[in-house]
């Protein structure tokens, strides 16, 4: 039978969030699924998220003829290179796109941003996603993915704006710092509200004596499993603290956190998170 919720769990949704994170990290997909296979199955993941037709998925996966390409009903949209961005994360790749769209009876356009070989080598290409950009505010476009061959990233759009692509930088210590900070974000977000930068907030957290001090500061109730996860993340963050300075982050946390959150929604994405976890512990990539 499902266990009865405690008063603390009913009153504090952050406790549920920690338990959810523990559950996601504890899941283990079938043995033998590789990153390459995860990329191949990425379109099926998008289909589950957005219920896309096979024709749409096939069109989205077709390589673009230019660095920026917009698949839209004739005369209903255009794409050009956007002006220089005010902010770009460490894993920014491709060109920023300025998209204009007209209403077209509910039809959506497909934006494609090409990735060259150097850009593919600089990031974990399976993590690249498209974001809508407004100054320092980057919001991931939920219905999109990287192409199976890694040559471009795509998303479905129903509105215009400025869009850009970003992924997780392919550097072991940066991956480790991102994963650890993401696991500790429930403790970092209150510090952002205190106007601390990402680097400042991370330093505040790692100065905590142990997980009990963090839980007390944030008024959280942690069980043994939650506490073990927090301790592991703290240890990892302390070991990779110098890499935090390499993570360009707006005030509300790294753009890459949104990618990690999106990956957690599907089995294939969860496998990729597990692969990133393994990469983070290697001595070199």
Give, for all 285 residues of the chain, the pLDDT tens digit. 223 334 443 444 444 444 444 434 433 333 333 444 444 444 444 444 556 677 888 888 899 999 999 998 777 889 999 999 999 999 999 999 999 988 766 678 999 999 998 888 999 999 999 999 999 999 999 899 999 889 999 999 989 999 999 999 999 999 999 999 999 998 898 889 889 999 999 999 998 877 777 777 767 766 777 778 888 999 999 999 999 999 999 888 999 999 999 998 888 888 999 999 998 987 665
Q: Would you list the domain boundaries of the chain? A: 9-32+171-279, 52-166
Q: Which residues pair with 129 in a beta bridge?
A: 166
* 82 C-beta neighbours (distance < 10 Å), count: 17
Distances (CA, A) of 244 to 77, 186, 273, 276: 39, 17, 19, 17
């Amino acid at each position: 039978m499902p266990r009865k919720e405690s008063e603390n769990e009913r009153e504090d949704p952050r406790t549920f969030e920690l338990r959810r994170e523990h559950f996601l990290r504890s899941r283990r997909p079938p043995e033998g699924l590789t990153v390459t296979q995860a990329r191949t199955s990425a379109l099926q993941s998008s289909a589950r998220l957005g219920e896309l037709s096979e024709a749409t998925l096939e069109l989205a996966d077709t390589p673009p003829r230019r660095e920026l390409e917009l698949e839209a009903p004739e005369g209903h949209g255009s794409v050009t290179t956007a002006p220089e961005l005010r902010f770009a994360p460490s894993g920014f790749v491709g060109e920023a796109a300025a998209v204009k769209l007209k209403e077209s009876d509910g039809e959506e356009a497909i934006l494609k941003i090409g990735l060259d070989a150097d850009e593919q080598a600089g990031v974990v290409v399976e993590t690249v996603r498209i974001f809508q950009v407004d100054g320092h505010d980057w919001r991931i476009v939920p219905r999109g993915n990287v192409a199976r061959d890694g040559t471009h990233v795509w998303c479905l759009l129903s509105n215009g704006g400025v869009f850009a692509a970003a992924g997780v930088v392919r550097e072991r210590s940066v991956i480790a710092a991102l994963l650890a900070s993401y696991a500790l974000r429930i403790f970092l977000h209150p510090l952002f509200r205190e106007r601390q930068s990402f680097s400042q907030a991370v330093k505040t957290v790692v100065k905590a004596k142990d997980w009990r001090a963090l839980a007390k500061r944030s008024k959280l109730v942690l069980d043994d499993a939650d506490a073990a996860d927090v301790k592991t993340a703290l240890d990892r963050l302390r070991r990779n603290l110098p890499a935090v300075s390499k993570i360009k982050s707006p005030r509300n946390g790294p753009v890459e956190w949104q990618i990690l959150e999106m990956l957690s929604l599907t089995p294939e994405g969860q496998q990729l998170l597990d692969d990133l976890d393994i990469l983070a512990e290697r001595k070199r990539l």
